[in-house]
């Protein structure tokens, strides 16, 4: 009998736990994935949220405070998910997507703000960030794209550009029959904004939040350094660090065009596409964006992945960082500075 699954993350968690216990006070991992490092008062919590996992490391905080904080974050994200999920048929966004064609639809302030932000970023990226084309994403969209007629019809009748918002009465109206807003490109960014608000309001000086690993929020600094060092790795070879981002009160978001399977073959995810043409971006590459605003990092990492020149020249002097990792035919990576 195999005693342990060598690839299991939980097994690795247990191994780390055992190592730590031998020298320090303790590291405990239970089913709540609770880790306490007593000496440093570093607390760890993790949970499922918005279709992925959130890992939180809080520094200089006691266990009870960490529980309260984690619970508050989880509740806030659950509320956000109930508004923005396109996988929940009763979410506010799902209802909006079903009802707003040619009809002014009243929405909550939160959803109104989210859609408003989508319009802002649509303009900022010269139409590259287009959250109104949910019909083109996913595997169903892949099949559609094989039929040129369908694509052109959807392109003409969808897109955030066909969304009208009215600030006076918080209503939203779609002017295209195929307009469907997809929160996939901005939901996690909004979530990380919420997390940041909670951490700051609670006066937490140092923390690191990973939301599905592709979005990282770094508050303050690492306990033993002057920033949080985050390594962005090449996708073909694990532990091949392409760039180390030095974050302090910043976020980094990394978007990619697919994943590498167990046999080392790149598999496009077919969910990154040019909204102007509907054409997917299927070659292996990632784009990382560093910003003090998690939402901006989330949206612009995806936008630049689609079109690295979509931002105006002004961004080059904004103090923000963006870099792409691209691969040659031998799967060797090259880091390209974008900003």
φ, ψ (nearest 5 deg) of residue 83: -90, -45
Return the residue of 40, 68, 200, 265 that touches another protein, per CB under 8 A: 40
**Binding to another protein by residue 9, rule CB under 8 A?**
yes
Establish if 157 lies at the interface with another protein (CB under 8 A).
no
- Residue 74 or 95: which CB sits closer to another protein? 74
**CA atoms of 184 and 298, how far apart (whole Å):** 10
Tell me how far, at minimum, the Cβ of 315 lies from another protein, in Å: 20
CB of 231 closer than 8 Å to CB of 213: no
- Of 68, 241, 265, 334, the residue at the interface with another protein (CB under 8 A) is 241
Determine, following the binding rule CB under 8 A, whether residue 205 of this chain makes contact with another protein: no
57 binds another protein (CB under 8 A): yes
Taking CB under 8 A as the rule, does residue 139 contact another protein?
A: no
**How far apart are alpha carbons 114 and 235 in whole angstroms?**
31
Are 294 and 327 within 8 A, CB to CB? no
For residue 317, with 0-12 CB atoms within 10 Å meaning exposed, 13-18 middle and 19 or more buried, which class applies?
Answer: exposed
Cβ neighbours of residue 80 closer than 8 Å, sequence gap 6 or more? 50, 110, 187, 190, 191, 194
27 contributes a contact to another protein by CB under 8 A: yes
Which range touches another protein (CB under 8 A), out of 27-35, 105-113, 124-132, 150-158?
A: 27-35
CB atoms near residue 279 (< 10 Å): 13
Could you give the CA distance from residue 163 to residue 58 in angstroms, rounded to a whole number?
40
Does residue 140 bind another protein (CB under 8 A)?
Answer: no
Q: What's the residue count for the chain?
A: 339
Q: Which two structure tokens, joined as six digits, stand for 216?
A: 């990282």
Indicate whether 214 belongs to the interface with another protein (CB under 8 A).
yes
State which of residues 89, 205, 229, 319 lies at the interface with another protein (CB under 8 A): 229
**Spatial distance between the Cα atoms of 279 and 288, rounded to a whole number of angstroms:** 21
Binding to another protein (CB under 8 A) within 278-297 occurs at 286, 288
CB-based burial of residue 170 (10 Å sphere; 0-12 exposed, 13-18 middle, 19+ buried)?
middle
Does 95 sit near another protein (CB under 8 A)? no
Residue closer to another protein, measured from CB, 11 or 277? 11
Task: Kindly tell me which residue out of 68, 87, 259, 332 binds another protein, with binding defined by CB under 8 A.
Answer: 259
C-beta separation of 298 from 291 below 8 A: no
Nearest CA among 196, 170, 181 for reference residue 294: 196
Please identify which residue in 223, 283, 309, 312 interacts with another protein, judged by CB under 8 A: 223
Residues contributing to the site for another protein (CB under 8 A): 1, 3-5, 8-14, 16, 19-20, 23-24, 27, 29-33, 35, 37, 39-40, 42, 44, 46-48, 51-53, 55, 57, 59, 208, 210, 212-214, 216, 222-225, 228-233, 235, 238-239, 241, 244-245, 252, 254, 256, 259, 286, 288
């Amino acid at each position: 009998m195999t005693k342990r699954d060598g690839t299991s993350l939980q097994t690795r968690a247990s191994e780390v736990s055992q190592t730590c216990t031998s020298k320090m006070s303790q590291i405990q991992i239970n089913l709540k994935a609770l880790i306490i490092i007593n000496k440093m008062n570093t607390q760890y919590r993790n949970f499922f949220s918005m279709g992925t996992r959130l890992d939180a490391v809080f520094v200089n905080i006691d266990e009870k405070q960490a529980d309260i904080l984690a619970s508050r974050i989880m509740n806030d994200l659950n509320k956000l998910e109930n508004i923005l999920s396109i996988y929940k048929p009763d979410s506010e966004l799902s209802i909006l997507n079903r009802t707003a064609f040619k009809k002014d639809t009243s929405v909550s302030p939160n959803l109104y703000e989210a859609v408003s932000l989508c319009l802002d970023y649509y303009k900022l990226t010269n139409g590259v960030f287009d959250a109104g084309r949910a019909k083109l994403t996913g595997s169903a969209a892949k099949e559609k794209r094989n039929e040129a007629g369908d694509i052109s019809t959807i392109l003409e009748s969808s897109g955030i550009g066909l969304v009208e918002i009215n600030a006076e009465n918080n209503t939203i109206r779609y002017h295209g029959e195929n307009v469907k807003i997809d929160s996939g490109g901005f939901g996690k960014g909004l979530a990380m904004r919420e997390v940041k608000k909670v951490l700051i309001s609670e006066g937490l000086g140092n923390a690191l939040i990973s939301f599905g690993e592709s979005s990282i929020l770094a508050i303050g600094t690492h306990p033993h350094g002057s920033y949080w060092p985050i390594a962005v790795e090449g996708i073909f070879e694990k532990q091949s660090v392409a760039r180390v981002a030095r974050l302090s009160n910043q976020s980094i978001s990394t978007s990619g065009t697919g994943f590498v399977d167990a046999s080392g073959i790149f598999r496009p995810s077919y969910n990154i596409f040019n909204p102007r043409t509907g054409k997917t971006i299927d070659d292996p590459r990632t784009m990382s964006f560093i910003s003090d605003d998690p939402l901006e990092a989330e949206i612009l990492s995806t936008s630049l992945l689609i079109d690295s020149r979509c931002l105006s020249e002004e961004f080059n002097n904004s103090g923000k960082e963006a870099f792409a990792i691209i691969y040659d035919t031998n799967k060797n990576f090259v880091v390209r500075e974008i900003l």
